[in-house]
Amino acid sequence: MLIYLVRRILWAILVVFVVLFITFLVFFKLPNGDPALRFAGKTPTPAMLDEIHHRLHLDKPWYIEFGYFVKTFATGDQYGWPGLGYSYNSFASVKSQIVYRAPRTLWLIAGAATLWLTFGVAIGVLSAVKRRTLVDRLAMGFALFGISAPVFWLGLIALYIFWRTLHWTAGTGYTPIAQGPGQWFSHMILPWVVLSMLYTAIYARMTRNNLLETLGEDYIRTARAKGLSERRVIFRHGLRASLTPIVTLFGLDVALLVGGAIITESVFNLQGLGWMAINSATQQDLPIVLGVVLCTATAVAFMNLVVDIVYAFLDPRVRYS
């Protein structure tokens, strides 16, 4: 088991390294243009361009460039670790921006993920057990709605109803939890629900299908033949075996939201990583975009590792192969 873990961690590091390389190629080596110009943002002065040339070692061979890039990333620059430089538009360090905004995104993901995992699986199980009854059809109808309704529309509707009309929640914006848990919660509850809708629907469908398939397996028949209660058969035997694809998907979904919850963050003005990324992209503020890309990549590599570990924990056949 330990060897398995070590192996997975090594792979994860390798993946991050590969992402760094591809990022480097994309941002530094795209033809047609001076990378310095790309990095300099909207209003480059010749002095800035010189500085960028020097700092990023753009006159040296590509492997030296890359070497410095990795070294700076790994060991840090004047702003600390990892070394991501600073934005030429706002002159704020990339790292500080990420540190400032990451908690919002992470809270958003944590809350939404908890909601969608709990409700998605629960609805899926209910649907599977009560297959073809009204409950099942309603649940799957809801699933269809959740998958089809655009997030921005849901978000605006939710704001209109729960904030504007009913005054139950706070509106757009974000309050850090330290400054007032009540306010924080009030700001987060709608984004959580709205973001999780789509995923709840997907997970409900997936759970339902997986569970139905599993319930047709021979070992379920054995469990019933032993005289186990139906509840035990469905949860301990059925659900347990259906979980593995859900876990895999969950890891990926969570990881991609790290820089990807763009619409939700924008509609609710949470100004998290996704929001920052899109704004920086439109303003051609490359260092920030790069920073967010690396965040997402690291999140994916990390979540893959977590998923693999959980997978091995769930399915002993994987452990012993």
Residues near another protein (CB under 8 A): 7, 10-11, 217-219, 221-229, 237, 240-241, 314-317, 320
d(CA 264, CA 123): 24
Least CB distance to another protein at residue 3 (A)? 10
Closest distance to another protein from the beta carbon of 22 (Å): 21
Residue 68: name the closest of 47, 54, 80, 79 by CA: 54
- Nearer to another protein (CB atom), residue 8 or residue 55: 8
**Least distance (Å) between residue 210 CB and another protein:** 14
CB closer to another protein out of 92 and 220: 220
283 CB-contact burial (10 Å; exposed 0-12 / middle 13-18 / buried 19+): middle
Work out how close the CB of 236 gets to another protein at its nearest, in angstroms, rounded to a whole number: 8
Nearer to another protein, 169 or 214 (CB): 214
Q: Are 86 and 33 in contact (CB under 8 A)?
A: no
Give Cα separations from 43 to 38, 39, 89 (angstroms): 11, 10, 8
Query: In the bound complex, what is the minimum distance in angstroms from residue 225's beta carbon to another protein?
Result: 5
CA angle 153, 159, 163 (to 5 degrees): 165
Rounded least distance, CB 257 to another protein, Å: 29
Q: Least distance from C-beta 207 to another protein, angstroms?
A: 17
Cα 201 to the center of its chain, rounded Å: 17
Residue 164 vs residues 181, 182, 189: alpha-carbon distances, Å: 21, 18, 15
Which run of H or of E encompasses 160? none
CA 174 – CA 187 distance, rounded (Å): 6
| Of 38 and 224, CB closest to another protein | 224
Q: Which is closer to another protein, CB of 51 or CB of 315?
A: 315
Taking the alpha carbons of 145, 149, 174, 304 in that order, is the dihedral positive or negative?
positive
Minimum distance from residue 227 beta carbon to another protein (Å): 3
Non-local (6+) Cβ contacts of 143 within 8 A are 123, 200, 201, 202, 204, 205
In this complex, which beta carbon is closest to another protein, that of residue 14 or of residue 99? 14
Pick 167 or 231: Cβ nearer another protein:
231
Torsion region of 271: left, alpha or beta (phi above 0 gives left; psi -120 to 50 gives alpha)? left
Q: Measured from the CB atom, is 60 or 240 closer to another protein? A: 240
